[in-house]
Amino acid sequence: MDREPMDRFDDALKAWARTPPRRAPGDAAREVLGRLPDGRRRSPSPRRRARSSAWAWANVAAAAALVAIMGLRFAPAPYLMPEPPGPSLEAPPLPEDVILMWLDSETPLYLSVPSAAAPGSPTPHSDQPTPRPAEGAPTP
Amino acid sequence: MGKNWSAVYTVRRVGGLLRGMTANNASPAPLAATVQRAVAGDRDAYAVLVEAQWSRLVALARTVLGDLTAEDAVQDALVAAWGRLPELRNLRAFSPWITRIVLRHCLRRRRSWRDWLPISAVAEPSMRIDPDSGLDLERCLRRLAPRQRAVMYLSVVEGQSDREIAEVLEITAASVRSHRRRAREQLRRTVGDINDWTGAADGP
């Protein structure tokens, strides 16, 4: 009878598997027993488990510290880091009858104070710096 | 000089209680109790388990590695498994657990050398050609990858399901089916190359 090749392979494999090993099971067990290490097995003991647990916590703490450091370094935290210096606004030299006031850190207000002989109140100017009057020229 | 454990085992061996026990026909209760004692450090109990599993583990290792090194590989794996017994959670799953360890050991060993060590190097010539089918088993197995050999053995010889094989090999059931399909295809090609089905032995 012409059997399927796969059936033949399966039968051959089963027959091959039934071949007894060279060492009898009892002899093999005795040999394995003779090779087992004396004393404690290589197994996680409670002390070893505690040690590995401590290492695990140390790793977690180190990772958390690293994250905190990276966060502080790169995250915006103005109260921690000095404010970067802004553009320096140096007021131009002012004439004697001009008062400079700062409405905010970037907005100057120039007030010209008339001389004691001249009537009127101080006149506000725009935030443009008052050009330095030429010598002899009247002050606006 | 250390204690002669083999002699102690011979004297204290549980005579007859677990004789002939295999992974397939052992009743669960005594096996689980023996496994529990082995996990607790009872060497005699472990020796009983080794004796019960030895033949089938060697047969599996021979399929993957060939006859030359199979028994040594299984012994090495059993010695290593003793140290890992505390990892065994399900006492009733000792058989797939030990099979997984032995198979992992065999696959690792197989990767360390390239050539298939011929069965015929040690075995009798009659083992090379199956007398009933006339099939050159060595040639057939040589064409398969180690994992494919393991899948074919566990499927054909032990009749395990895809899920059980997947658990042993630590792969998915779909991978098991894929390995088996490819193994079958390769075997069909191999068998097709063998023109002589009448059992004539190949030349040396």
Residuewise pLDDT in 10s, chain B (204 residues): 445 555 555 545 544 444 444 444 445 566 889 999 999 999 999 999 999 999 999 999 999 988 778 999 999 999 999 999 999 988 889 999 999 999 999 988 877 655 455 555 444 444 456 666 667 788 888 889 999 999 999 999 999 999 999 999 999 999 999 999 999 999 888 877 654 444 444 433
CA B14/CA B99 separation, integer angstroms: 23
Q: How far is CA B37 from CA A46, A114, B44, B91, in A?
A: 19, 108, 9, 10
Kindly state the percentage of chain B with pLDDT values over 90.
Answer: 51
Minimum-distance CB partner of A8 among B79, B133, B192:
B133
Mean pLDDT for chain B?
A: 78
A5-29 residue pLDDT tens: 788 889 889 988 888 999 999 999 9
Best mutation target, B50, B68, B187, B188, to test chain A (most A CBs within 10 A): B50
* Torsions phi, psi for A111 (to 5 deg): -120, 130
- Tokens coding A61: 């703490």
A63-90 residue pLDDT tens: 999 999 888 887 765 655 555 555 555 6
A-B contacts at Cβ under 8 angstroms: 129
Chain B: residue whose CA lies nearest to A4: B188
Chain B: residue whose CA lies nearest to A10: B156
A12 contact residues in B (CB cutoff 8 A): 130, 132-133, 135, 137, 140
Q: Which of B94, B22, B85 is nearest to B59 (CA)?
A: B22
Kindly state the percentage of chain A with pLDDT values over 70.
Answer: 56
Q: Does position A137 have pLDDT exceeding 80, yes or no?
A: no
pTM for the full model?
Answer: 0.58
Distance from CA of A49 to the nearest CA of B (A): 13
**pLDDT confidence bin for A45, thresholds 50/70/90:** very low
**pLDDT confidence bin for A41, thresholds 50/70/90:** low
Interface of A with B (CB under 8 A): 3, 5-6, 8-23, 25-26, 28-38, 41-44
Q: What is the pLDDT of residue A113?
A: 83
CA B91/CA B185 separation, integer angstroms: 38
Q: Does position A107 have pLDDT exceeding 70, yes or no?
A: yes
Helix H or strand E segment including B86 = none
CA B51/CA B203 separation, integer angstroms: 38
- C-alpha Rg value of chain B to the nearest Å: 19
CA A97/CA B31 separation, integer angstroms: 108
Q: Does position A115 have pLDDT exceeding 50, yes or no?
A: yes
Q: What is the pLDDT of residue B179?
A: 96
CA B62 vs. chain centroid, Å, equals 7
